[in-house]
Amino acid sequence: METGEMNRRALLRKGAVGAGMGAAALAVPGLAHAGNPTSEQTGEIYQLQAAFHRAKSHQDIDLMVSVWARDCTFEVGGTTFTGRDAVRTFFLGSGSGLHQRMSFVPSFKDQIEVAGETAFLYFECHDVALTDESATAPAGTIVTHLFNAGTIRNVKGKWLFWHMHFGSAAPLSVDHIYYP
């Protein structure tokens, strides 16, 4: 078995090379960029999705409205809703607005396809009742299985829901994608 030894000269040489590379990265900022912009955007889109579920789970209607574009549309059961006022009205009257629930996401089923300042997003929400909602929906019951899919867009550096479709994600499935 060989053991690696480093003498002072080799250490200084490696340090000089590292310092040179660091200086080059500072001198030419493009060299310092690690990863690609799409992966950064994907991370930001996951934060959008997390904010959506945080808003549902905490019944935070102001947060919910803030993650939608001003000119948004969303379709539920054949009805199209338009604008942030419709978002507010819809979510205040929805199950998560009326009942305490925790919204879960099978993130392995998420689909994100970034195309510049817009992206396609698919995710599912499975809500669990935190309190007894009815005789058939006691606390701990999974009460909704929904998919959310459509176009989101980047507005002044912030990803927002823009043109979305909501629908049933039942029966619960590990592999099935419910939209389109």
Q: Give the integer Cα–Cα distance in Å for 180 and 165.
A: 9
The residue among 118, 57, 66, 59 whose CA lies nearest residue 87 is 66
Q: What is the pLDDT of residue 38?
A: 79
Name the H helices within 68-158. 84-92, 95-98
Q: Distance between CA 144 and CA 11 in Å, rounded?
A: 61
Judge whether 91 and 67 are in contact, CB under 8 Å. no
Query: Quick one: average pLDDT of 30-35?
Result: 41
Burial label for 123, CB within 10 Å (0-12, 13-18, 19+), is buried
What does the pLDDT average to over 78-84? 98
User: How do residues 102-159 score in pLDDT, each as one tens digit?
Assistant: 999 999 999 999 999 999 999 999 999 999 999 999 999 999 999 999 999 999 999 9
- The answer on pLDDT for 17 being more than 80 is no
- pLDDT exceeds cutoff 90 at 1: no
